[in-house]
Amino acid sequence: QQQVKQSPQSLIVQKGGISIINCAYENTAFDYFPWYQQFPGKGPALLIAIRPDVSEKKEGRFTISFNKSAKQFSLHIMDSQPGDSATYFCPSGSARQLTFGSGTQLTVLP
C-alpha cells in the first residue's frame, strides 16, 4: 500500500507570498502524482498532476515539483491569493483504493 506523508497540516501565508506543501511517498506505483484542492462545502478537484518521469510542471501560479531520488513531490503556489485558501490533498494508497489524509489547510491573508 502506497503511503504518503503530507506537510504541513496548516499553513498561513500573506497575500503575494509563496505557499509550499510537501508530500513524501514510499514507491512510484502511480502513473501520476496529483494535488487536489477542496473548498469548503465542495468536492475535491484535481489541481495539477505530474508524471514520475517529469521533474517539474507549471500551470499558471501553480508548480508541482517531483524529486524521485528524495521520493518527494511538492506544490508551490506563487503570488498566493485569498482565493487560494482551501485544503490541499496528495492522495495515498493504491489506484484501487485511493485514500486522502487530512490534507493541508492553506489560509492566505489579505
Q: Which three cell numbers stand for residue 86?
A: 482551501
- Strand segments, DSSP code E, in the chain are 4-7, 10-14, 19-25, 33-38, 45-50, 56-59, 62-67, 72-77, 86-89, 92-94, 97-99, 104-109
Under the binding rule (CB under 8 A), the answer on residue 6 touching other proteins is: no
Opening angle at CA 4, ends 96 and 35, nearest 5: 75
Between CA 4 and CA 26 the distance in angstroms is 7
Among 19, 25, 30, 104, indicate the residue that binds other proteins (CB under 8 A): 30
Q: How far is the CB of 33 from other proteins (least distance, A)?
A: 8
Size of the site for other proteins (CB under 8 A): 24
CB nearer to other proteins: give 45 or 109.
Answer: 45
Asked if 27 interacts with other proteins (CB under 8 A), we say no
Q: Which of 26, 79, 99, 109 binds other proteins (CB under 8 A)?
A: 99
Q: Which residues bind to other proteins, rule: CB under 8 A?
A: 30-32, 34, 36, 41-46, 49, 89, 91, 93, 95-103
